[in-house]
Every structure is written in C-alpha cells, then in structure tokens.
Amino acid sequence: MRAMVLEAPRTPLREADLPEPEPRPGQLLIRVLACGVCRTDLHVLDGELPDPKLPLVLGHQIVGEVVEDGRRVGVPWLGWTDGECRYCRNGRENLCDRALFTGYQLDGGYAELMVVDERYCHELQAGYGDVEAAPLLCAGLIGYRALRLAGNAERLGLYGFGSSAHLVAQVARFEGRRIFAFTRPGDEETQAFARELGAEWAGAADEAPPEELDGAILFAPAGELVPAALRVLAKGGTVVCAGIHMSDIPSFPYELLWEERCVRSVANLTRQDGAEFLALAPKVPVRTYVESLPLAAANDALERLRSGRVRGSLVLVP
C-alpha cells in the first residue's frame, strides 16, 4: 500500500510502498477514504512531541471504509486506552496513563490502508461526504471539548481561525454565543472568513476587541497569546489552550489572572466527546470548509498549514 512516511523528525515525509497492515483480534482493516491534516501532525513532524513511533504514518482525522463489511467509520486521535488506570476508571480516558494516539504512537491515515481498534472508531452519519467529514474528527472534536471547557462564556474569543475555529464558531453561534475572531496581523482574508461564519468582530491577535470577552480559546500555538487573551477577558473568564504544544508563555503580572480568571489546557478527547459532537454537528448544521489534495501532496499540505495559507481545513485523499 502507498503511504507517506515520517522516518525522522524534521525531515519531509517520504512516499513509500508498505506491506498491508494486518489486523489483530479486535482491530479492523480500514481503507482510508479521506484524512484531514492537523496542526498536531506538524508538531510531530517538527519533533515537538516526544517519542513518536518511527517510522510513522501521520494522520488522525480519518474517514475510512471497513474492508470486511464496507461500513464507513471515523477514526480520531484517541486510538487506545488501558481502561484500568485511575483516569480511565473515572471517565477521563483522555488522560489515560498508557493511551496510544493515532498518527503518533499508532500508524495513522496518510496511507491507503490502516488498522484500528474497533472500540475507538466512530459511526459516521450519512449527511457528510468523506472529505467533508474528515475535519470533524479532530478539528471538530477537540474544538468541541475546548468549547465545553470554556464554560458558558457568552462573548467568546477564538485565537487562530483555522480548521478547528471555523467549526467551533458554528457550534458556538448555534448555542447563542457571540464570536470575536483573532488572526495573524494583516490576515484580512481569514478575518473575512470569520465574519462569514458569524464572528461579529475580527481583528489581529494583538488588537483589543470592542468589548471584554467572557472566554477565549487559543488554537494558535503561540504562548504570548495567553497574556494577550487574559488582558481582554472579563472577570471570571477562562482562557482555554486547545493545542497539544505551545511556545513558552511569557511571564505576566498577577493582576491579569486576578478576579478568578483561569488558564487551562485541553488534552485529547474521550469517546464520549466524539459521540456527542458527531451527533450535534448535523443538527447545527456544522459545515466544514475543505480543500482536498492527493495523498502525495502531504508535504505541501503541511507547509501550507504552517504558513497559515488555508481557508478551513485541508484533507488528503489517497
């Protein structure tokens, strides 16, 4: 089977012909129909996440067809948990001590075929095409978890308006929240995109919005955004850091945190998050803005993501 393989961090993916993976008991062999490109893939590529499986097939937003019976399934980042650690036992499998993640410790979807543990796959409803459904599986899921952890913030700031934010914005609007979008300075195209999706204000990340915000979700992996977001937050507001990796957060005066402001991260997802979000998405309905590229263009896709030249989500099609 054809796959794009990471052999060592900080080197381009190599197009390779690999032997077909063989499912073990409890696993399914899946034909990949579409695989979304995520910022996390870039962090693995850049060596910013420790100890990836090597060589590795990246990709954890997979729409696939079960080879055995033709069922269509979605495969997310959470690929396996032990089910017995203290986190798993109290409903926090996203924090499992021994969790394995797709496209990181397990081979992912930048390939024609892959194997997955059946228990961590999601049923996909018919309403979405393969390419359209792919970004729901991480950008959508992690965004949804981040939105929940932002509490009931009515005025919500979204920092970095890419794959995840463009989906979260739609859910948040559906819930009656008001959206304020922050982009790289001068990125008027993305600001216009955010307004199109219901943001009532869009500007640069270092600008002050027209009023205080009740919560903010940071999708851009830039630590300096933490104090920037705290600075525009009303009392009691939460800054949620949604990425798996972020540059160092600069020190800031305690008064930015005072009055019960809060900074927290979001780690991974639970199967429950997946089930909830995938049931909610068609009700909103969440529309995914996607651009599809052939699998062999994976390196180009990752570089475009790095430079921010993407409207919505990029999806690879084997």
What is residue 127's DSSP assignment? T
Smallest gap from residue 185 Cβ to Zn ion (A): 25
Residue 61 CB, nearest distance to Zn ion (Å)? 6
Q: Does 96 bind Zn ion (CB under 5 A)?
A: yes
Distances (CA, A) of 307 to 23, 40, 99, 210: 37, 14, 31, 28
Reduced to 3 states, what is the DSSP secondary structure of residue 228?
Answer: helix
**148-187: contacts with Zn ion (CB under 5 A):** none
Which is closer to Zn ion, CB of 96 or CB of 156?
A: 96
The CB-of-40 to Zn ion minimum distance in angstroms stands at 4
Written as one string, the DSSP assignment of 294-305 is EGGGHHHHHHHH
Q: Which of residues 33-92 bind Zn ion (CB under 5 A)?
A: 38, 40, 81-82, 85, 88
Which helix (H) or strand (E) segment is 315 a member of? strand 313-317
Q: Which is nearer to Zn ion, 133 or 213 (CB)?
A: 133
In sequence order, what are the residues at sequence separation of 6 or more whose Cβ sits closer than 8 angstroms to the Cβ of residue 253? none
Show the tokens assigned to 217: 């979700």
CB burial of 268-299 (b: ≥16 within 10 Å; e: otherwise) equals bbbbebbeebbebbeeeebebbbebbebebbe
Q: Taking CB under 5 A as the rule, which mask of x and - marks residues 1-40 in contact with Zn ion?
A: -------------------------------------x-x
Q: Judged by CB, which is closer to Zn ion: 230, or 242?
A: 242
Nearer to Zn ion, 117 or 214 (CB): 117
Q: Residues 127-146: x/- map of binding to Zn ion (CB under 5 A)?
A: -----------x--------
* Neighbour-count burial of 70, counting CB atoms closer than 10 A to its CB (0-12 exposed, 13-18 middle, 19+ buried): exposed
* Closest distance to Zn ion from the beta carbon of 142 (Å): 6
Nearer to Zn ion, 60 or 261 (CB): 60
| H/E element, 271 | helix 271-280
State which amino acid sits at residue 162: G
Site string for Zn ion, 197-216 (x = CB under 5 A): --------------------
97 vs 255, beta carbon nearer Zn ion: 97
Given a contact cutoff of 8 angstroms between Cβ atoms, the answer to whether 154 and 177 are in contact is yes
The site for Zn ion (CB under 5 A) is made up of: 38, 40, 81-82, 85, 88, 96, 138
